[in-house]
Every structure is written in C-alpha cells, then in structure tokens.
Amino acid sequence: MNSAPDTAWNGLRLCAAVFSERKAPALQRGDRVGMTDIDPQADIELHSADGHVTVSVPLAGAVTGDWLRCYQKLALATEVPVQAQARRDRAWIVVSVPVSSDRGQVAATLDAARALIAKTDAAAERPPATAETEASVRDWWAGRLGSVPRRPVSGPRMAGAQAEKRWPMAVTLVLAIAVPLLLPPRFSLGPVWAIPAVEALLLVAIVAIDRGRIDRRSTAGRVLTLVLVAVLVADAAGVTGRLITDLIEGGPETNSPTDLLKTGFLVWFYTIVAFTFLYWVFDGGGPESRFLTPPQFPDLAFPGQLNPQVAAPNWRPEFFDYLYLGFTDATAFSPTDVMPLARWAKLAMTVQAVGSLFLLGLVVARAVNILK
C-alpha cells in the first residue's frame, strides 16, 4: 500500500475537479460542510471470499455522489483497497483485507481507509482553485524531496543564514605561518622571516577590513585575499620542489629519518593549507559571494548541496569544509565526498593529488632506505 504524500494530493487534485463541477452542495451544517465519519451506533458487516475478508463500515449521515467519487479517487491514488458505496440515506466504506494479513496490517488498512474520510471532507470544504494549488505545491515538494536536484544551490541568500566567521581561517593561517620558520633555512629564497611576515600583515589587514565576519563584499579585502592565496601557493610550491629535489639528488635533511619525516610533514601540511585557501577563495566567487548570492552551479559540490536532506536548512560550505577537502585530496590522491565540477577545480585537485603522491611516496621510501 502506497502512503506517499504526493499520491494523496494527486487524488485531491482530481477531487477539486469533481467539486468544481457539482450541481448540488454536500451535506451542510450551517455554513460548513458536514464532517463525515464512521457510525459508532451501527455494526459492521463481514464477508469472506477468494482469500479476502470484505468489511462494510457504515458512515454516519448521508453523503453526496460527489463525495463518493472524490473518496474513490483518493483511494485509487493512495492504493488503499477500499470502495465507497451508498444506498438511499446510508453510505459505507467497503474495505478488502487479505486473509493472510496479520493484526497490524489489518489495523493499518482500516485506519488508512478511515483517514481518507477526513481528506475527502477537506477537499469538499476547499474551493476548487485552492485545492488545485495546494496539490500542485505538494507535488512539487514531494518531487523535490524524492530526487537529487540538478542545481544544488540557487537563488539569493535565505533568511536566517549567518555569515561565516573569520577565525577558523585565521587560526589555520597562523599555523601555516609557523611552517617556514620551522623548516631548514635553505628552503627559503630570502630571509626566513620574509614570507611569514608578509602573510601575517595580509591576515591583519583582511581581518581589519571585515571585522572578523565575512558578510559583505569589499574590493580591497578581495584583492588582499587573492594576494594571500598567491603567496601561499607559490611558497608551498617552492618548498615542495625543494624537498623533492633534495630527495632525488640528496640533501642535508635526507640523511636523518627524524629530520626527513619532520621536514616532510611540515611541507605536506603547508601544501594542504595552501590548497585549502585556493578552494575556499575561488569556489563560487569566494565566501562573500557564497553568503550574499549563492551560485546557481557551484564549482565544488559538497554532499550537503547534492543531497539537501542530509544538511541543515541554508547550509553552505565554510572554511573547515574546505580544509577537510584539502586533507582528503592529499591523502586519498583523488576526490572523496566533494566533487569538482569546474575545470579549475579539477585541475587544482589533480595538481594537489599528484604533488602529494610524489611527496609522500619519496619521503616514505627515503625514510625506509635510511632505516635499513
């Protein structure tokens, strides 16, 4: 038996057409349609045939032919094995139950047949246009819940959505700023403090512009953020290239397993942070755009966008989600739960995966070779 909401509302749409064409009103009580229900004073009738038990349940009061037709349409739409019948001033609902049904199945079928009585009354009380519109809305909603939307995110910012806070990005960047200071000096093109100082100044300027909350567009803030991403990616590429070169040709840190694993971990972490910022800043035009005007088609599709049923209302990816994306791509060497849709996203994830594969593979191989 199908009890899905959309089938019931298909029946209500058909009922709207029935009541819109009726020539005589249903049973009236004052200005309202009389509420129909089973007759508690009358007894039911039971008949057995062909492996089914047929139950005739009497209704209290008279009903119109339109009411009977509406009830029947609802029963067909919801696949409840029941028919509505009437003779003179008496009406029944006739339910057919297989003899193989257990007590719970029998009760569920009879309850479903009785519930259709109230739905039929509700259709009779609504103006036909109202019932038609309500059915259309219910159909749309049921379809939306029952299928994956083609457009994971669309439309303007929803009411109640909160702006992303800046502190997760700031904390992660502070950790990344410490990496060049912990690496051997030969990994820096200039003074060891130069790149960390530039990154720290950019962080302070960005936080000062938006006051710690990303809820408005700022040209200056966007430019500074892009510069920060460029510095991070360039420096991460430089230290990764330096380490890979040392692993292939031999370098001071490659002679000690402790120094090698420490340097390898710091470089690997630095690349994860760099790509995290890259994804976070470029996906959908950046965090400001994702908050103010969510893109119709995101560059990176997160599970909460592909399947809204698993996420809270107004959900959108924030910095920690992109940090997780950067980590999983660096460890799995491929997409996991986040799907790259834009070409730049596919290229970025490919570069990160290949770089991480070379880095981890060479570091582990060299460390094992030293231990032997």
Q: Are residues 9 and 126 in the same domain?
A: yes
Are 345 and 294 a contacting pair, CB within 8 Å? no
Q: Are residues 256 and 337 in the same domain?
A: yes
Q: In terms of pLDDT, which residue wins out, 161 or 252?
A: 252
Q: Are residues 185 and 303 in the same domain?
A: yes
**Residue among 346, 371, 214 at smallest CA distance from 286:** 214
| Greatest mean pLDDT range, 71-85, 117-131, 133-147, 327-341 | 327-341
The whole domain housing 113 covers: 5-146
Residue 22 is predicted with a pLDDT of 47
pLDDT at 30 > cutoff 70: no
Lowest-confidence range among 31-45, 306-320, 338-352? 31-45
DSSP string, 184-222: -GGG-SS-TTHHHHHHHHHHHHHHHHHTTEE-S--HHHH
13 falls within a domain? yes
State the chain's mean pLDDT as an integer. 79
152 falls within a domain? no
Q: Are residues 50 and 135 in the same domain?
A: yes
If one counts every other C-beta atom within 10 angstroms of the C-beta of residue 169, the result is 26
270 falls within a domain? yes
Q: Are residues 242 and 315 in the same domain?
A: yes
Cβ neighbors of 327 (< 8 A, separation 6 or more) are: 272
Q: Are residues 51 and 182 in the same domain?
A: no
* 289-312: pLDDT as tens digits: 888 887 778 899 898 888 877 877
Report how far apart the first and last C-alpha atoms of the chain are (Å, whole number). Answer: 68
pLDDT at 64 > cutoff 50: yes
Q: Are residues 103 and 227 in the same domain?
A: no
226 falls within a domain? yes
pLDDT at 92 > cutoff 90: no
Q: Are residues 264 and 359 in the same domain?
A: yes
* 166-204: pLDDT as tens digits: 888 899 999 999 999 998 888 887 788 889 999 999 999
**Residue among 219, 346, 228, 333 at smallest CA distance from 277:** 228
- Name the residue with tokens 């698993």: 310
* 276-293: pLDDT as tens digits: 999 999 998 888 888 888
Q: Are residues 33 and 99 in the same domain?
A: yes
- Which one of 120, 146, 172 terminates a domain? 146
Are 124 and 67 a contacting pair, CB within 8 Å? yes
How many independent structural domains does the chain possess? 2
Q: How far is CA 116 from the centre of its chain?
A: 33
Q: Are residues 142 and 10 in the same domain?
A: yes
Q: In terms of pLDDT, which residue wins out, 53 or 41?
A: 53
Domain with residue 37: its CATH number is: 3.30.1460
